[in-house]
Structure 1
Amino acid sequence: MSDYKPHSAELRPGQVVEYLQNNQPIVSWIQEVQPPRVRVLNINQREVKLPAARVMPWTGPAYTPDLSRQEVLQLLQEHHQKRNSIQEDLDVMDVWSMAQGEIVQASIFWFAGLMWDEPDADRTAALGRAMLQARTHFKFSPPDFEVYSRETAEKKMEEERLHRERERLVSIGRDFFKKLHSGTFSPGQQAEPEDPEVTGQLKDILVQRIKNPEDSQTQDLWSKLSAGLPQDPHLPFILARAWGIYPEHYNYMLEQADYAWEDSWSKPHAPQIQELDRKLDQEKGPPGVDGLISIDSASTRDIDDAFNIREHAGGYSLTLALAGPGLYWTFGSGLDLAVGHRVSSLYLPEGKSDMLPRVLAEEMFSLNQGQVRPAMVLDMELDFQGFVYSLQPRLDWVRVQANRTYADVEDELAMDQASSLGSALRLARTLRKNRLEQGAVIIEQNEPIIRLEKSPRQTLVSLVPGVTHPGAHLIVSEFMLLCNTVLAGWAKSKDIPLFYRTQDIVLPRDYSGVWQKPEEIYRVIRSLGATLTETRPRPHRSIGTGAYASVTSPLRRYVDLVNQAQIAAALSGSPVLDRAGLEKMLPFMNTRMGQVGRIQKFRPRYWKLLYFKQQARHTTWTGVVVDNSGPVVLSLPREQILIRAPHEVFGGKTMMGQAFRLRLGRIDPLNNEIHVLEAWEE
């Protein structure tokens, strides 16, 4: 015989009860009550001691406690099946609809009374089970159930839906990523998840993890998706590459820096570009300066400086012209914000990406020969000792007579030292001599040209020694350093705020000079310290000047563009940004220069490591020891790259400047890893 007393809170042997385990109700039989615990036999034939508080409120029915174990288990099975059957026929949403808006909280017995006139233990338990599962509409707060409002229930249902979708995404995505990583998909096979609905989500997650490996919003999901795969920092890119989202040698650092490689980024700014073009056309006048020449590489299309020079009895008359986008620049505009975000042009082995829209950098403002362009002009008079005794910056229209290349200028210098180019070289040599006397540090090393030969199957890398044009390069570098130095001094004297490049450090006197040996270059560079961008002029020791502000590349560097715009505003009588305005810009600019500069630094190294990897089986290389204080650091002079190796590879003893022939082992361009297997002295 059994009895059912729904409101009785007393627990006693012989009662059928339920308790939660892993959020599932377990039907059990009370064998013994020892407050505050009870000992039960559950439907799984296990005896368990429980706190009485874990027993669900729908106790009963109660039987005589002296039934056999087999009889108890049979009863538990019958009640379990009966409750499951009742639960299947229940629509718990009917209960919620009747209760919602009427009450906030009630006992299970109150809810059972809504459904049946005489609810028994099995019906009450079945309803309790159903309400436990309806977590979007009810909350179990022992011993009662809370009823969620319609708004809360809708919110909970949406959360539940998102959770189910997330679990489904993880289940499908984890399996798919494992197949991608293991190379399960054969070449040419279309790699796609089993469920196409998750394709876009998985791609978005990979792209976001590539852009920001520390992204907190996707961290938990990524941890689940990548479970069981190697903990490689580039795993998202490796998977995306295997999937075909990116080609094999895609520059993922562009994504991390949010830097658009193609010129399509400029399309939204077409109206402002067109307005600039119209304004230039309206204001264009006859050239106030003619007969200029520029010197650049043969591939250069963004020509931002040109000069002419005349040597006379008192010294030199030098005119420098700088491309003039800053003369027409509008700070705070959409175009300005986009260009400031790009912060500089990128020059990589795979090509070039302009800081400015290409039409501005290579056409409208580029000092192309035969074209009249707006420019900032510096008229200088210098004596034969390189001292500037007259300086007049101005804004004017200029026309370049010829865009010369380093190669043809070098040829002319070799044939005719009496030409104007000969005068330019003599002045450049004097300027360099003066800088060295002021403590300048000059590094001379020949960076190789990285050539990429692309085919459908692979990209082959070759390194070609860079062609040196010492005279032509000296003219350009010294004239640009001169320009940035004199403009910095001029702006300082007139209190015009600029971004200055500073390196206010103490250098030993013997560090001044021209350095060419790898071990000397390494030692000197490590001692120089960082160059800073600041709004107050301070010395730049390695250049050998008391103040230095970069102005000469306004087509390629945002700092130069801002500085040019500041000087142009001062010359034309327009308002300039005050120092506080520049200070406000500085943190963002420094961050962006670091992010974009990282691409310029590490991308060529990636291609060099790929070159080593392709050649390693049948090639050895020469390395020179430049540091042996920790792991041995070697400079490869021809390839212009530093690598490290343990002392054991060299027999435990090395000397600075010692040359070794190297055989390389494992090389991973993506992770910037290169290992030296063997080394023998040359």
Structure 2
Amino acid sequence: MNVFYEESGTFKVGAVLADNTTSLQVEASHGKRSKIKASAVLLRFEMPSLYEFMYQAQQVAADLDTDFLWECCTNSEEFSSHTLAADYFGHSPSPVEVAAIMILLNNSPMYFYKKGQGRYKAAPAEALRAALASQEKKRLEAEQQTRYKQQLSTFTLPEEFRPQLDDLLYKPNKNTIEWKALEAACTATKLSVPKLLEKCGAISSTHDYHFNQFLREHFPEGIDFNLPEVDNIFRDYENLPIAEVAAFSIDDATTTEIDDAFSVTPLALGSFRIGIHIAAPALGITPGSHLDKVAAKRLSTVYLPGQKITMLPEKTIDFYTLSETRLCPAISLYLDVADDFTVTASQSRIEKIRIVANLRHDTLEQQFNEDTLRKNLTNYPFANELSLLWNFSRKMEIFRGKENDLNNEKIDYSFFVEQDRIIIQERRRGSPIDRVVSELMIYANTEWGKQLADAGIAGIYRSQNGGKVKMSLSPAPHQGLGVAQYAWSSSPMRRYIDLINQRQLIALLKDAIPPYSKESDELLISMRDFEQAYSIYSDFQRAMERYWCLRWLLQENIQVTGAQVIKENLVKLDRIPFIVRVSSLPDLLPGTIVKLELSQIDLIECTLNTRFLSKE
């Protein structure tokens, strides 16, 4: 005796070795023995053989007309496969014919719903049409996906991909056939998605690819401000006193957000007064206003070679920036300084100041440098004022214990991009310009942080302990700067933390209620969000500087270059701030100068291949 039975949704046949009423021991045609439930048996037969039975049943099933069978069953609620076999064949069906009907019914789930052992029901006409349409759609999509993959694998971009390129590059829907085809083509070509799309001509600008990737993730709504008309962004402007000083700023040539300016006024007996003047957007940008919400969301200006994403709209920046030949609202810190360059008194004021000049690094560095200071040359604008500020800055460095700071010997790099051409210039960090500006900013941020702390007014401080920098609402020493407390207040147009601290300082100077209390959730949220955003923006700036370094290497056709070993196989290339691992580098001491061969620069992955040539 043989049986035709169902197991895990599959039809099988076997020869009965033992029948135990509720279960059977059967043997398949290939010799495997199994124990099955008696309820799983659909048919019992003697002939033909097991192999012939399944072969014949499948052959008969292949000749059956599924549509005709469905039409025959549409008037039935439920039916058994035996009944349908008898109706279809017009006689008492053989086991092979019944098995064939069962195979067809089981293989046509869109046409027939299974209702039990050997029992089925015809699908409603509407449901069947929908199922068939879905099946046809999947078939067409599968064909289309195959076509897409073939095109992509030969580096041809399907036209249908063009409207979806941004999504495919930055935020793909992995359920679409376009993504599935792209993924399959990447597997076949062993390329990443961006590299494959680049080879297909879908990435016209590698710079835009990196920039748009950043925007898509961190500025999904775009970088336009889309603000309602901002009115009254400056209050009490006309009522502010005008300072009797002539102030000047010192900035990079590309700076538009001029936050700080300085003045020097002679006093009696060789003493003088230094004015540190900071732009005052907090006078007009009120907490909770539309403009404030934008600044609180962006938290900082984003810098990258050739462009920037400002924290505040251009019109607001133009209003508050310390531009020359203008009267500008400012928060001023005045320091009375004796002839030995010690501070004898200080005072903070809210006022308007007259900016007489915006000095720029590229011009000023040729006039104000170690050589001109050593020779005591004074044939350039503000020479006397800058000389006094230089000597005061050196005194402050000594006071902070930083007179021999090794950071002053490090090299900074300036990037200039014009019409897709990159210029990278080296600048020693400890130039007189840098040291004057940084010392005056350190003094202002330290002093104003102290004033807030002494008055019991909440502020956001930066501290450093054991090399780790953190932000908090409590004043604490900043070991790296050598100061007792440090509260960013000097860049309120570029950093939201500075804008918050400036609001608190204005309240102190006006003897008004501060906008934020020490228990304010807004302070904690702003501090947390700022740290996260500032880290992301800094990482992006470094990534884009790395990109432009590679562009510079291509532009200058640099194939062999010098480099300095940092440690192990890590080296820094000459003339640019680019660090790379050289796998072929021998074991050399840090600081060793080597010569490298460069090749295979990849502007998508921002990588290049290097090969050690020699030790210099």
TM-score range, shorter chain: 0.7 to 0.9
Helix, strand or coil: the match of 2:311? coil
Distance 1:614 1:283 in 2: 50
Structure 1 residue aligned with 2:234, among 277, 280, 289?
A: 280
- Judged with a 3 Å threshold, the aligned counterparts in structure 2 of structure 1 residues 288 and 232 are, in CA distance, closer, same or farther, namely farther
What are the equivalent positions in structure 2 for 1:198-347 lying under 5 Å apart?
A: 204-208=167-171, 225-227=182-184, 229=186, 235-241=192-198, 242-244=200-202, 247-252=205-210, 255-256=213-214, 258=216, 265-269=223-227, 271=228, 274-276=229-231, 278-280=232-234, 283-285=237-239, 288-289=242-243, 291-312=246-267, 313=269, 315-333=271-289, 335-347=291-303
- Please tell me whether the aligned partners of residues 296 and 404 of structure 1 are also in contact (alpha carbons under 8 angstroms): yes
Shift of 1:208: 0.7
- Please tell me whether the aligned partners of residues 406 and 469 of structure 1 are also in contact (alpha carbons under 8 angstroms): no
Distance 2:117 2:340 in 1: 94
Give the structure-1-normalised TM-score.
0.71
- Please tell me whether the aligned partners of residues 15 and 50 of structure 2 are also in contact (alpha carbons under 8 angstroms): no
Helix, strand or coil: the match of 1:36? strand
Structure 1 residue aligned with 2:531, among 576, 587, 590?
A: 590
User: Match for residue 394 of structure 2?
Assistant: 429
- State the one-letter code of the partner of 1:244: A
Shift of 1:307: 1.9
Helix, strand or coil: the match of 2:576? coil
Distance 1:232 1:304 in 2: 52
What are the equivalent positions in structure 2 for 1:569-648 lying under 5 Å apart?
A: 569-572=507-510, 573-580=512-519, 581=521, 582-613=523-554, 615=556, 619-627=559-567, 631-646=568-583
- State the one-letter code of the partner of 2:24: P
- Please tell me whether the aligned partners of residues 170 and 224 of structure 1 are also in contact (alpha carbons under 8 angstroms): no
Shift of 1:453: 6.0
Distance 2:534 2:195 in 1: 27
Distance 1:141 1:394 in 2: 89
Helix, strand or coil: the match of 1:419? helix
Distance 2:109 2:389 in 1: 86
- Please tell me whether the aligned partners of residues 148 and 181 of structure 2 are also in contact (alpha carbons under 8 angstroms): no
- Judged with a 3 Å threshold, the aligned counterparts in structure 2 of structure 1 residues 365 and 496 are, in CA distance, closer, same or farther, namely same
User: Match for residue 304 of structure 2?
Assistant: 348
Shift of 1:268: 2.6
1:497 aligns with 2:452: no
- Judged with a 3 Å threshold, the aligned counterparts in structure 2 of structure 1 residues 199 and 673 are, in CA distance, closer, same or farther, namely closer
Helix, strand or coil: the match of 1:280? coil
Shift of 1:389: 3.8
Distance 1:619 1:318 in 2: 51
Structure 2 stretches lacking a partner, 5+ long: none
User: Match for residue 477 of structure 1?
Assistant: 438
Q: CA RMSD in A?
A: 4.8
Distance 2:443 2:139 in 1: 64
- Judged with a 3 Å threshold, the aligned counterparts in structure 2 of structure 1 residues 464 and 139 are, in CA distance, closer, same or farther, namely farther
Percent identity between the two aligned chains: 19
Shift of 1:604: 0.4
- State the one-letter code of the partner of 2:526: M
Distance 2:112 2:489 in 1: 66
What are the equivalent positions in structure 2 for 1:15-414 lying under 5 Å apart?
A: 17=4, 19=6, 31-32=15-16, 34=18, 35-39=23-27, 52=36, 59-60=42-43, 65-67=46-48, 72=53, 75-77=56-58, 79-81=60-62, 84-90=64-70, 126=101, 129-130=104-105, 133-134=108-109, 172=144, 176=148, 179-180=151-152, 184-185=155-156, 191-193=157-159, 196=160, 204-208=167-171, 225-227=182-184, 229=186, 235-241=192-198, 242-244=200-202, 247-252=205-210, 255-256=213-214, 258=216, 265-269=223-227, 271=228, 274-276=229-231, 278-280=232-234, 283-285=237-239, 288-289=242-243, 291-312=246-267, 313=269, 315-333=271-289, 335-361=291-317, 363-410=318-365, 413=368, 414=372
User: Match for residue 509 of structure 1?
Assistant: none
- Judged with a 3 Å threshold, the aligned counterparts in structure 2 of structure 1 residues 623 and 136 are, in CA distance, closer, same or farther, namely farther
- Please tell me whether the aligned partners of residues 491 and 498 of structure 1 are also in contact (alpha carbons under 8 angstroms): yes
- State the one-letter code of the partner of 1:349: P
- Judged with a 3 Å threshold, the aligned counterparts in structure 2 of structure 1 residues 412 and 204 are, in CA distance, closer, same or farther, namely closer
Deviates most, 285-294 or 479-488: 285-294
1:536 aligns with 2:474: yes
Distance 1:385 1:224 in 2: 75
Shift of 1:370: 2.9
Shift of 1:554: 1.4
Structure 1 stretches lacking a partner, 5+ long: 1-11, 100-105, 186-190, 210-214, 506-528
Shift of 1:365: 1.8
Shift of 1:469: 9.6
Distance 1:477 1:119 in 2: 103
Distance 1:233 1:401 in 2: 61
User: Match for residue 560 of structure 1?
Assistant: 498
Shift of 1:561: 2.1
Shift of 1:464: 4.0
Distance 2:282 2:122 in 1: 66
Distance 1:136 1:349 in 2: 64
Distance 1:262 1:201 in 2: 16
Distance 2:532 2:47 in 1: 79
- Please tell me whether the aligned partners of residues 87 and 129 of structure 1 are also in contact (alpha carbons under 8 angstroms): no
- Judged with a 3 Å threshold, the aligned counterparts in structure 2 of structure 1 residues 281 and 481 are, in CA distance, closer, same or farther, namely closer
Deviates most, 366-375 or 384-393: 384-393
- Please tell me whether the aligned partners of residues 346 and 354 of structure 1 are also in contact (alpha carbons under 8 angstroms): yes
Distance 2:610 2:59 in 1: 73
What are the equivalent positions in structure 2 for 1:644-659 lying under 5 Å apart?
A: 644-646=581-583, 649-650=585-586, 652=587, 654-659=588-593
Shift of 1:426: 2.5
Q: Deviations over 1:419-452 (max 9, x none)?
A: 3233223322322333335885533333344454
Deviates most, 332-341 or 394-403: 332-341
Shift of 1:224: 7.5
Distance 2:570 2:259 in 1: 38
Distance 1:436 1:31 in 2: 96
- Judged with a 3 Å threshold, the aligned counterparts in structure 2 of structure 1 residues 645 and 55 are, in CA distance, closer, same or farther, namely farther
Q: Deviations over 1:520-558 (max 9, x none)?
A: xxxxxxxxx342222222222222212111111111122
Shift of 1:203: 5.0
Shift of 1:598: 0.6
- Judged with a 3 Å threshold, the aligned counterparts in structure 2 of structure 1 residues 128 and 167 are, in CA distance, closer, same or farther, namely closer
User: Match for residue 550 of structure 1?
Assistant: 488
- Please tell me whether the aligned partners of residues 186 and 196 of structure 2 are also in contact (alpha carbons under 8 angstroms): no
- Please tell me whether the aligned partners of residues 74 and 122 of structure 2 are also in contact (alpha carbons under 8 angstroms): no
- Please tell me whether the aligned partners of residues 540 and 548 of structure 1 are also in contact (alpha carbons under 8 angstroms): yes
User: Match for residue 385 of structure 2?
Assistant: 420
Helix, strand or coil: the match of 1:635? strand
